[in-house]
Every structure is written in C-alpha cells, then in structure tokens.
Structure 1
C-alpha cells in the first residue's frame, strides 16, 4: 500500500512549479509507483491563459475549486470549468486553459509522468522526462 499526504508532498521535490508562472503541480503518484497512471493536485493561478497539447499522454482533470474555462482549438468550443466539472482529453486535444479564479485540479495522466515534467514548446510533456529524487 502507498500512502502519501498532500501537505508533506508539497514540501518535497514532488511539487513542481511551471517556469512560465501559470501553475504548480504536486505529483502524488508517479511512474515509479507502477500503477499505470499518475495522479497530481495542480493549482492553476488566477489569470493564467495558456495552450497545451498533450501529444504523448491522455489526461482527465477534475476541478476541486475555482472557476475558468477550457477551449478546444480544433473547433473553438469553450466549456466552463467550476467545482465538480471533469474534462477528459481523450483525443490528445489541443486546448487552452483559462483561470478566472485560482483553480485546484485533480489530474490523472496515462501513461504516468516521471515527476519533473513541464510543458515543452508544443505544450506537451515529454515521455523521457527526469524522475524526481526523494
């Protein structure tokens, strides 16, 4: 059994802050845990407005708190995000995420992340990123 506390993980190398200043993510479950997916609690800072395109991963995102929207770039459709909303990027959707308020999100990635990933120029995470060191 694996047991981790968010409060402790936030004080460790499991907390990753984006270089662009849009988000921070605490990676509670990673590839090394051998569960087949990773699980993160991510904070999207108020005013963030950025494009992502997870070409190497599928992601589901559940909004715990805050408000914003996600826009799919293929068709320009916008979906409001508020507590209780789940959105699933099941087709490697190119999208824009906007935070009208600070948002706390619970995120699941398949395949699992290694730990130190931040978005590349395409808005994706690389498959061969470094693992965290504990």
Structure 2
C-alpha cells in the first residue's frame, strides 16, 4: 500500500514550478504503478501552450475556472470544478486559467519520472 500526503511533496524535487504553474507530483514512475498522479495549479491569468507527444494526460478540475483550446481546430471548452478533459490523441492545446487559480488532478501514462521539463514544443521526452 502507498500512502502519501501533499505536505510530503511541497518543497521537494517532486514539486515542480514554472511561469504561471506548479505541479505537485504525488505518484511517479518509481512508485511502479504505470501512471503518475499530479496536483497541478495554473495561476489565474496564465496561458500554457502544451503538447504531450509521448504521454496521454487526463485532467480533472477541482477548483477555478478556465478553458482548454485545441490548437489544430481552434475549438475551446470551458473548464470549472467537475470538468474533465483527456489528451488522448496527443493534442496540442492551450490551457488558460481565467477566474481563480485552476487546480487540476492530472494522470499521465506512461508515468512521469518527476525529472521531466517541458521542451520547446511544450512536451516531455518519452523517458524522464
């Protein structure tokens, strides 16, 4: 059994931050589950353009209001508490936090190692 608390993640190497966002990486590849689990904050007013070429990501919104835009089509979906979106076809997208910090519970498969950094395209390498 694995039991962790967010307080154990904050301020460690598993607590990644960047301009307008932070990812508290709770479960990672070393946990041996085949997926990773993240508590992510996107700061109000931030817009992140991302494309996960090597991972599938599921995002469940638990706070804030925002939107996700599929770059190839320009289609935009509103996000609020209770919304879920899945990047099942590695879609290039723009995530915007519009009202309050957007808080997402994110699951990546394959699991992230926790050492990844976004490359110029907003993606992570296949292995961290």
Fold in common (TM above 0.5): yes
User: What corresponds to 1:122 in structure 2?
Assistant: 121
Aligned residue pairs, count: 127
Q: Counterpart of 1:60?
A: 58
Query: RMSD value over aligned CA atoms?
Result: 0.9
Regions of 4+ moved over 3 Å: none
Greater strand share, 1 or 2?
Answer: 2
The corresponding residue for 2:17 is: 17
Mapping for residues 55-134 of structure 1, pairs under 5 Å: 55-100=53-98, 101-129=100-128
1:74-115 Cα distance to aligned partner (Å, 9 max, x none): 111000010000000000011001111211110000000000
Provide the rounded CA distance (Å) in 2 between the counterparts of 1:105 and 1:7: 17
Give the TM-score taking structure 1 as reference length: 0.91
CA–CA separation in structure 2 for the residues paired with 1:118 and 1:87: 22
Q: 1:61 & 1:42 partners in 2: Cα distance?
A: 9
- Aligned partner of 2:25 in structure 1 is 27
Partner of 1:42 in structure 2? 40
Gap regions ≥5 residues in structure 1: 130-134
Normalization by structure 2: what TM-score? 0.95
CA distance in 1, matches of 2:122, 2:12: 25
